[in-house]
Structure 1
């Protein structure tokens, strides 16, 4: 349930930015992670965790994880969406259950590739079915290669983070999932400040006026950042860290497909339409693949549960 709830929360990421169209993608990313970082810092101080002595290696790991899962991942994603078709980006990013499962199986030395092959193939087929009707809408291919590269880098970054984060939590039983979420969030604030300074100094089209007038656009932006940073980032990370203690990495990788499914559901509700036949069929294939993967994935050893 922790993993499914995390995917449900992350599904909001697909629709919240659509209510913030007056602000650039970089401003949305900055606002999200400033909220996430400040919230984490507040929790860190309120729980007197600053009095605890965390080794430098823990802080460096938190900085590394936050960089990969925020700055690098989202920069590549924004560039991919700008230089290639969003539908193609969605397809590439949505195969993360496959890459997470395969990479996790390799890291955990399970070599259970045969058991993962069929459900992974079904997931890929389902994603193709969902995205196929939109391929003909691609009109410009001048920056296609650069956008595709950004999509794959985003996918690889997220896959590495999911596997490495789960491995770290299981190898560090004294680190509670709430504490780790907070430390990563505080580290994210460091990167958000650097991101903000860079945006102000090097962003030629940065408009201060948008932040000085309390209109409906600014209210939507602030509310959206609160949801993205507080609910999607911190609460989502907390739920996923909990799930990482219960589940094998390969199974957790399969379950990330529900982020795409919940995202599609929220998009249909937001756009007030029903899914066409191709998307409805593709979602059915994805669900079947996940349930098959759950049965095919064996629990290799008892996991640390907290």
Structure 2
């Protein structure tokens, strides 16, 4: 259990880097950056599968499973989120996506664990989420003010779909790994990587910028290096660590560990800005951390 918890927290630490990396190349198209990150993930995975002599290759059924889950957890999830932010702004989609740990805890609860045991962690997480949303966007700001009514509700639908995609991925991925112990965490990460790389190529061709436009930017080299860094660390390595956690822990506890991604993302953001969190943000972080500890205690 301890190994799984540490692996889940390490995955959260690596995922958190994705939130500050785009700020290092401010103004670079989000779809292009994400496609580059996922293409790098696919390239690393394919290279390792070709370079390692005894590397396992998937059969048709396994390849289809990897392709489907890569859409749920990577390219499809992010594309829906991009559409949601385009139509509804950032606040409401962020709040909806922030409920993923809650749904993971509720839907992935082990049969022998009472629902009441999860209540403290759920309440602490929801309180932290509410405080962080208020601190980030202000009590008077609403996402619907700047967009037409119909577009706003279409964005809400996209955000809910995005949340459903990743929640299903988290639950199905954990179940698949437990059902197939013969497939190692690294092997499954590589199969997902190749499938995700193919999806990223389709994403870039459908919604990305022209290659000549990207190469004309002065920051293309820096963006490329960040894509490779996040593709290796925040995606390939993080996926291996998450697979380890998913195999060793229940889906409900893994869901709570996702909150660590938010905590690390905030810490990196504060460090990048060179400032301390406000009192409300600090309180939200404490509530997030307390929610994780409460959930770990409930699963012991």
Q: Common fold, TM-score beyond 0.5?
A: yes
- Runs of 4 or more, structure 1, over 6 Å off, are none
Structure 2 equivalent of residue 98 of structure 1: 102
Offset, 1:210? 3.6
Q: 1:130 to 1:2 in 2, by over 3 A?
A: same
CA distance in 1, matches of 2:295, 2:99: 14
CA distance in 2, matches of 1:191, 1:49: 26
Among candidates 118, 125, 143, match of residue 120 of structure 2: 118
Structure 2 equivalent of residue 162 of structure 1: 170
Q: Secondary structure at the match of 1:253?
A: helix
Among candidates 265, 268, 282, match of residue 266 of structure 1: 268
**1:22–1:217 Cα contact (<8 Å) kept:** no
TM-score (norm 1): 0.88
- Indicate yes or no: 2:85 matched with 1:77: no
Q: Secondary structure at the match of 1:15?
A: helix
CA distance in 2, matches of 1:268, 1:28: 22
Offset, 1:169? 0.7
CA distance in 1, matches of 2:134, 2:23: 23
Q: 1:165 to 1:274 in 2, by over 3 A?
A: same
Query: Residues 225-277 of structure 1, C-alpha deviation per residue, up to 9 Å, x if partnerless?
Result: 11221111101101111112221211111111110111111111112221111
Offset, 1:219? 1.6
For structure 1, list consecutive stretches of 5 or more residues without a partner in the other structure. 299-306
- Indicate yes or no: 2:140 matched with 1:140: no
- Indicate yes or no: 2:243 matched with 1:235: no
The CA RMSD over aligned residues, in Å, is 1.9
Query: Residues 164-188 of structure 1, C-alpha deviation per residue, up to 9 Å, x if partnerless?
Result: 1111111111010000000111111
Structure 1 equivalent of residue 211 of structure 2: 208
Structure 1 equivalent of residue 228 of structure 2: 226
Q: How does 1:168-183 map to 2 (within 5 A)?
A: 168-183=176-191
Structure 2 equivalent of residue 286 of structure 1: 288
CA distance in 2, matches of 1:147, 1:2: 34
CA distance in 1, matches of 2:129, 2:103: 14
For structure 2, list consecutive stretches of 5 or more residues without a partner in the other structure. 1-5
CA distance in 1, matches of 2:278, 2:12: 23
**2:39–2:198 Cα contact (<8 Å) kept:** no
